[in-house]
Amino acid sequence: MATINVSDTTFESEVISSEQPVMVDFWAEWCGPCKIVAPLVEELSEEYKGQVKFTKVDIDENPEMAQKYGVRGIPTLLIFNGGSPVDQLVGALPKKTIKDKLDSVLNNINGS
């Protein structure tokens, strides 16, 4: 598994302080759409290894970060760069949509 489980206490070190862009998957065990997105996020974590860090936050166990970043529906995928959220996706979206968003963020970061 290439994604890292992050808690309210490790969010700062794993996401905010990260040298590379980070995708945070806000999810919950009871969430059906989250179970659809989870394997896609795992696949993308392999495809973008070395370019993007992939993390997961269980909002039931770690409500502080979800509240701080205004997560209202799950799954919510927030993309962070330089310690700040730069983009987001909400809902069970196709892999291509998530991939296109990641590519767009990476292109902006790399100045392409």
Cα(90)–Cα(78) distance, integer angstroms? 9
* Entry pTM: 0.94
Q: What are 48's two structure tokens?
A: 């973008």
* pLDDT attached to residue 112: 60
pLDDT digits (tens, 9 = 90+) for 23-35: 999 999 999 999 9
The answer to whether residues 27 and 37 touch, using CB atoms and an 8 Å cutoff, is: yes
Domain count, the chain: 1
What letter would DSSP give residue 41? H
Q: Considering the candidates 6, 23, 31, 78, report the single residue annotated as catalytic.
A: 31
Q: Of 6, 2, 5, 4, nearest to 68 (Cα)?
A: 6
Q: Considering the candidates 22, 34, 65, 79, report the single residue annotated as catalytic.
A: 34
> For the chain, how long is the longest CA-to-CA vector?
39
- pLDDT mean over 83-92: 95
Radius of gyration over every alpha carbon of the chain, rounded to an integer in angstroms: 13
* pLDDT attached to residue 111: 79
Helices (H), 1-112: 11, 32-47, 63-68, 95-109
Let me know how many helices (H) and strands (E) the chain has, helices first.
Answer: 4, 5
pLDDT of residue 65 exceeding 70, the answer is yes
CB atoms within 10 A of CB 14: 18
By residue range, what is the domain housing residue 11? 4-109
- pLDDT class for 2, splitting at 50, 70, 90? confident
pLDDT of residue 1 exceeding 90, the answer is no
Active site residue 65: no
pLDDT digits (tens, 9 = 90+) for 12-62: 999 999 999 999 999 999 999 999 999 999 999 999 999 999 999 999 999
CATH code of the domain covering residue 38: 3.40.30.10
Active site residue 6: no
- Compute the mean pLDDT over every residue in the chain, rounded to the nearest whole number: 94
pLDDT of residue 4 exceeding 90, the answer is yes
68: Cβ–Cβ under 8 A, 6 or more apart, which residues? none
